Structure 1
């Protein structure tokens, strides 16, 4: 089973879509209504975690960990605090740039790559950074397969980006639930 968390209009073949009204990441009863523990192979969440506080983000990551199979993963993307673009930073700021209808109006945090990685490591995941800007604002990219979970606001798939110019980037991670082998 593959799950899109906070899918919005995103719909990929073979992936179950959820919205906040279906799955509040902080509600175990919501999780239990939809999934058995350790039953999910993969999850994607594009621009969801910034709508949680740092502490809520850790709790949500812990809940994902409970419902993922060993060896399962969540590919997760959030706005990047280190991306050097004034327009972008205005759009993703805490509380958003304008009216309550704006998607960023409920942003509670803007992550840098180390803080975002730590959220998932605290929950028990092994984290791989796929896309991010470092503390100097330099962009880093590691190839990732979109069939494992496509992120639209990414270097390759956002039309505001080109080889010459970055217009929209995200911190993108793969957080893998380790497989534990116990000796008898």
Structure 2
């Protein structure tokens, strides 16, 4: 994964609650191999297109969506089944951050493991951001180190698990996180062998 710290990007509003993983990528599309084209085209498919495949008036179908990297949604984003493909769809579309008042637990963990920041904000701050984005596309600045989000004159803070923050800042997966503790692991092994030499 690429390390993440501070970046500015076009943000899209998704003023909906309870957007679950089945909506993020409907199950029928998971039969498709992720490579070489990715799952981005299937993101929120059934909100984007009608039953005949015609595009609807939906934020992901607008021109600014092509360059968007931040999504602002309401509470309980990513609830539902544990499918990691929901995160793949977001990442493959180009999103680097989702801002919401709450996330499905497994979705949030999968997000971090795929380089997607689940930025947890208060409901009040979420509504302020959505209101500021209501009229036109907005550029948002995400500062992971200082855990703040800036949009125009507004700045709001967000929460994230400290271990997840460390992984995203460094671009680490779980193996990298373990390897970062190598000196402590080696010291433990040495101490343990000294205490119990008969273990070999």
Give the alignment's TM-score, normalised by structure 2. 0.29
Which one scores higher on RCO, CA 8 angstroms, separation ≥ 6?
2
Question: Which of the pair has more CA radius of gyration?
Answer: 2
